[in-house]
Each structure stands twice: as C-alpha cells, then as structure tokens.
Chain A
Amino acid sequence: MSQSIYVKMHNNEAMDLADIPDVAFGEFKNELLSSVASGGRIVLLSGVPVEVMAGKEEEINGSAIRLVCVIAWDEEGMMKVSSTRVGKTYPSFTPDCPQAHLFEREIWEQWNIVPEGHPWLKPVRFHAPYRIANPKATPEIGNMDFFQLHGDEVHEVAVGPVHAGVIEPGHFRFQCHGENVYHLEISLGYQHRGIERAMINAANKKRVMHYAETMAGDSTIAHSLACAQIIEALKSVAVNPRALSLRGIALELERLANHTGDLGALSGDVGFLPTASYCGRIRGDFLNMSALLCGSRFGRGMTVPGGVAFNVDEKRVLLLLERLADACNDVSGAIGLLFGAPSVMTRFENTGRISRQVCLDFGMVGVAARACGIRRDARSDFSSGIYNFVHIPAMVWESGDVFARAFVRWLEIQQSIEFIKSQLSLLSEGEIAVDTHEPQAGGKAVISLIEGWRGEVCHFAITGKDGNFIYYKVVDPSFHNWAGLAMALRGQQISDFPLCNKSFNLSYCGHDL
C-alpha cells in the first residue's frame, strides 16, 4: 500500500485537516478498489466542500467537492483516510466495488455530483441538494423507476410507507411470481429530518448531544457515545474509568433490550407465542434497568461529553445485579423454548439466507455480518472506552439465514449479561464526569466508531477554525445493511418477508437521518 495516498486515521483521535491527503482521482480510485479487493471495507465515502476541508466556516455555493474516503481493515484494527477533488461528474466506483453504491447515491443527492456509470442511480432520502435554496429541487418521495419484472403471472407488491405494524415508514417493492420473490427494492427517506445539517447549524449548539441521542432512538447510547467521543477527542479530555464502565454498562443494556425484543418479535412472526410474550416483557425489564441508571428507558441523558451524568451507589448496584440475574433466568427460559421448538427452527433455518460473499461485497456490518461468519465487531476491532480494557470476542455463526441472525443475538445476550455483571462488580472509584470547558480544537477531523446493537455506528466530524462543527457525517449500521435485506428476500416466499425484515431489524431513521 502506497504510503502517501491513504494515511492512517485512528478511532477517536483528532487529526489535522491538512494531514488528510488530497490526491489525484486516478490514484484515489485505484487505491480504493485495491484496498477493498484485499479485504478492506468502506466505512465512509462522502462529499465535503473544499472550503470545509480547509476548515472554513462559511460554505460557498457552487464550490468544488472533495470525496473523502475512510477504509477499515477490521482484522488489523486499522483505518486509512484519503480524499480527492471531483468536478460535476466522476467515473463511478460501484461497478467495480458494490460497497460504494449507496454512498455514491448519497453524494449525488447531497451535492449534485453524478457518478457516471452507477448501475442504479436514484435518490436515497429524497431531499433537495445542499446549498440550493430552491424548494422545487426537492424530489417527490418514492417517485422513481423501480426495477421491474415483466411476464405472465408476474405481479408487483408495494408495501409502505405506512406499514401494518407500529413501525417506522419505508417503502418495499416486491417483484413476485406467485409466492416467490424475485427481487425486493427498498426505498426510504420518509424519516429524513435533516440531522446532519442541524448538527453544524450554529443555532443548534445546545442540541448537539440531543440530536445525537435521537439519530436512531433505540440506539441512543451508541450514537451519543460516538458524538461524545468526538467531542472528547477534540477537547483532549480523558474519561475516568468509572464513567467508562458505566458507559459500557449502558451500551450493553441497550444491546440486551433490543436483542431480546428482536427475538420476541421473531417468535411472534412464526406464531410461537410463549417466547413472543415473555421476551416482550423481558425487553421491558432491560429497559427499566437503563431507567434505573438514568431515569430514561432509552438512556436519554446518560451520556455527556466527559463521562456520564448518573452515578450508582452500592444499593443501586445490588439492585441492578439482582434484576440482571432475574432477567437472565427469564430470558434463558424463554429462548430455550424458542430454539427447542421444531416448528420454529423449520421457519428460521434456510430462510432469508445471504451468502458470505454478498455480505463482503456490500460491506455489511454488525449482527447481519456476524451471522454470515464474518468476524467483525467494533468493540474488538476498533475498541474504545471500556472495550480497551475488556476483550469482547465477536460472536459468529456461519449459515447467514434467519436462524443465524437470531442465534448471534442470543450469543450476544449471554455475553452482554456477563459483561455487565463483571463491570458492576469491578467499578473503580472516581468522578463520573470530567470538566469539558476547553474549546474544541479547530481545523481537525475526527472519526468515532462504536458497535451499536445493530452494528457499527460511525460519526465523522470536521471543525472550523474556532472549533465548531462545520461538517458532521453519520453512517448508521443500517446504511450498510439495507442492501442485505433486499438480497435476503431473493428466492424467498413473500410471506417470509416480516420474518426476514425482523431478523435484520434495521433502522429507518438511522438511515434517513
């Protein structure tokens, strides 16, 4: 690997903007393609205006865009970054590198830069390009060409945005022949609230952490930790061990609640009501443990830059341990029933299978990737906070089907319970938050990766001369994984869609931001 084209970038370390290489397009592209071919994974590929790359506060309409790319080698725990200038168009990377597909569409939508040769260029979030004040420029949501199958007895099923269940909106277009799905196309954008732009608006300084908390409301801790870690990197603040433990406990409680809920939902989808009922309740038990920590079932208010906002005393620790033990017994009983029922296994096994190769091709992350046998987990690959001190081995299963995605969740539930038990018993003394009144360093770029319960949450920020955010990019794990769901439905019965969808359980608002 050439030394000057991509340089190393470290998780939660501020680097000077000037150190991000600005290389010729050909070199940038070749290095990107060869990196991915040799096992690298695109963490981030975004457009950044040139003046922002220079640390200037004022965005200039019509200025050139630099493509910034961060590539990760998970096994080595290494990230590299580079950038290149592009004009109104550039030759698309996607035909050679499918991982880039959604990033390129996003760049096109945000900055009006056309990736020539992109096999399926269409809007991502259906909003007007940035820096354009014309409201007519907003594309009509869902209005685009869907891939269509033609022939006798072929039919098209459209679902959403308003779905049957109490769930976020999105649009799914199935091309079917009888019950068999040939192709699923997913069109999102209904939840687009403009959070990335809100993060850099000077009027919203008080709201930065609150926006981070609501990027994907069920991953409050994961996203707020990523944001807090960026702020701490920019202020050169080290968080105390006690706070790191509490952060880890909060993150794992979030993982427990969601994994338990998902297993319950999967149960419900195959009609196995015992586990569906029990898990629905046990999920609440885990959420109530988060509420015991910070007053909010979703961990709102727990993370603050510099540490955490809520401490625990011995009494609270004992109560948490007691509740954890009860929940552990209950969830073990419920899940034991689930995987022991042949009727359930028949529905789970071989349903919604994606191959390891598809997973690698799309750069998928998190539970969905680990369920294809890919050992990828930011807690061990790009460890930060408490995970620098405690090794969390990635839980994998090879089959890539609904069963694998369910079983990986069960393995992680057990792992998280053990982690929380040991952290609660080993809390160090000390303050739970340190002073963060220093200003954020100016002219820096920081990346923060956190393993949320779905997968890798990535925040990338650039500060202007006086330390304010002038660029904030968020890549939710769902951004990588929605394509996986589309692939999982190929060759499946359409009636298995709810099951497959819940086995991924991706975030709509995390994708739409």
Chain B
Amino acid sequence: MLEILKTRIRQKHRTIAFPRELPVMPDRFRGFPLLTPGKCPGACDKCADACPSGACMADEHGNIKIDMGKCIFCGKCSSICRSGAVSFTNDYRLASSKRENCITSSANLPDLALPLPANLLKLYKRSFKIRVVSAGGCNACESDVNVLSTIVYDIGRFGIQYVASPRHADALLVIGPVTGNMELALEKTYKAIADPKIVIAVGACAISGGLFAGRSDECHGASAVVPVDYYIPGCPPHPVTILDGLLRILHKIDGNEPERGRLYS
C-alpha cells in the first residue's frame, strides 16, 4: 500500500490544462494547412500531383485548395512546393460542423465547428455520452479517441464518457471508411441510439473514405450510411484535435480565438 502511495506521488499530476492553456504540440506536428495567397505561381500542379488522397488541388490562377476531409496530413504537398505556398502549422483546431468547412483555400479560411443548438446544449453540456464505432478504421484513430479517457486528457472532467450501450449514448462517433462488412452494424447502432442524437465523423476515412474511397460500393465514409453532424479531420487527428472538437460541440471553448493557422504566432 505504501509503495502504491509513494508511486502515486512520484507519478505526479499529469492532466493538461487545456482548454485553459494552449497545449504544447510537437514541433514537427502537421496541423492546419496554411495556404498563403499570392505565393503559388499557378499552373504548377506539383502539390496536387504529390497528394496521395486527392485532397490538394490547385488551379491555373494560383488558388490552392485542400480538402481536410480527404487529407491524410502526410505533408507531401508542402515538402514539394518550392514557393512555400503550402505549410502545415501546429494549429490543432480542425473540427467543423459542415462538410464544406473542411475545405480550406488560399482565398478563404473556413469556420470552425459551431456548438450544438441551445436545446441540445441544455441536455448535453454537462453530460455527454458517446458510443464509438470503428467501421474499418486502422486502429490509429481508435487509439487516439481512446486515449482521451486517460489521465492526460481526462474527458471525464468535462462530463464526456464513452459508453458501451448505444441505448445510453447521446452521440455516435464513427471511425473508419465504413467497409461493406460494417454497414449494417453501423446502421443498427445508429438506430439503437435514442433521439435526439448527433453523429461525429473522426478521421479522413470517416469523413470521405480517405485512401480507401473509390472502392466500388463501399468505403465512402460515414455519411454514406448515417447523417453526420460534425467532422474532425486528421489521419489520425491528434487527441487534442479530437478533444478540441468535442469541447466546441459542447460550447466549452469560448469564441475569442486567433485566426486559423495562427494559433501559436
């Protein structure tokens, strides 16, 4: 018993102060892609060619677009660009409440996710239970979703909990491109959650099918099977990105924030 207490003291308090304080991201972390207008010379296509998932597009006028819902954050577009038009910042904020707001361009910074409407916030702000379903995920998103319940991130302190039964859930969190073999299970789980409910798609696979999109009749992401309310891009999204998304949904992040891509500058 004494050993246990001694070890507890040695292991210290580890929960991060987020959202009160900004988290420390690794310096090589690839977060929000900042597309600088005017730097792209146009008629180049190197970034679009290098992109393995078809997320990066550029037109002849030098306008670049990155669909973060398809983006796997590999950084190939940014490393191949000679003009510095594409750079991945360490801004971890990626969540959005509309599919089109996953698309960022050199002309336009999309909005971050909005909180739930007032009637749902009243129900869920202090107690939000999530049923997570992996439908073909590779286990990276699953791990980073799971890690939120450990002491560093501790979603319990926000009233968020992962539940085993869809009957106990308020939301469905979908991971993976939704393989043909998981379509029925996903549908049944969604139907088993009582209304009102929301659906959160986490990761490139769940938003768009990711690298697996294009297989004949399956792997097109969660929205092919269930209506999606929130999108959290990444491959996998960093736990802080997922947490930030969940806190935005519950209106626990206040509105005064720096512009996207400029969080740490």
Contact = CB atoms under 8 A, between A and B. Distances in A.
Contact of A292 (B28, B51, B73): B28
A281 B30 contact: no
A193 B216 CA distance: 11
Contacts of A509: 136-139
A125 B179 CA distance: 11
Interface stretch (A52-60, A80-88, A293-301, A433-441): A293-301
Contacts of B11: 277-278, 281, 330, 333-334
Contact of B140 (A191, A192, A217, A261): A217
A295 B138 contact: no
A169 B185 contact: yes
A295 B30 contact: yes
A301 B77 CA distance: 13
A162 B185 contact: yes
A173 B96 CA distance: 39
Nearest to B31: A295
B83 interface: no
B164 to A, nearest CB: 4
B14 A281 contact: yes
A214 B143 CA distance: 13
Contacts of A193: 136, 177, 179, 212, 215, 219
Interface stretch (B38-46, B107-115, B146-154, B249-257): B146-154
Contacts of A294: 28
B187 to A, nearest CB: 11
A214 B3 contact: no
B176 A191 contact: yes
B6 to A, nearest CB: 9
Given A168-B137, A214-B211, A281-B150, A192 B179 contact: yes
Given A169-B134, A333-B7, A162 B236 contact: no
B146 A166 contact: yes
Interface string B216-228: 1101000000000
A164 interface: yes
Contacts of A127: 180-181
A281 B156 CA distance: 15
A181 B166 CA distance: 27
Contacts of B147: 280, 283-284
Nearest to A298: B140
Contacts of A218: 138-140, 143
A216 B152 contact: no
Nearest to B138: A217
A194 interface: yes
A294 B176 CA distance: 23
A198 B214 CA distance: 10
B26 A288 contact: yes
A138 interface: yes
Given A138-B180, A161-B185, A191-B179, A295 B150 contact: no
Nearest to B238: A297
A330 B179 CA distance: 40
A95 interface: no
Nearest to B133: A162
B138 A215 contact: yes
A39 interface: no
A169 B135 contact: yes
A507 interface: yes
Contact of B139 (A126, A216, A293, A295): A216
Given A216-B139, A217-B141, A288-B26, 4 more contacts: A135-B216, A166-B162, A189-B181, A281-B150
Interface of A: 125-127, 135, 138, 141, 161-162, 164-169, 189-194, 198, 206-207, 210-211, 214-218, 220, 261, 274, 277-278, 280-281, 283-284, 288, 291-298, 300-301, 310, 330, 333-334, 336-337, 340, 507-509
Interface of B: 3-4, 7-8, 10-11, 14, 26-30, 50-53, 72-75, 132-147, 150-152, 162, 164, 166, 176-177, 179-182, 184-185, 189, 211-212, 215-217, 219, 235-236, 238-239
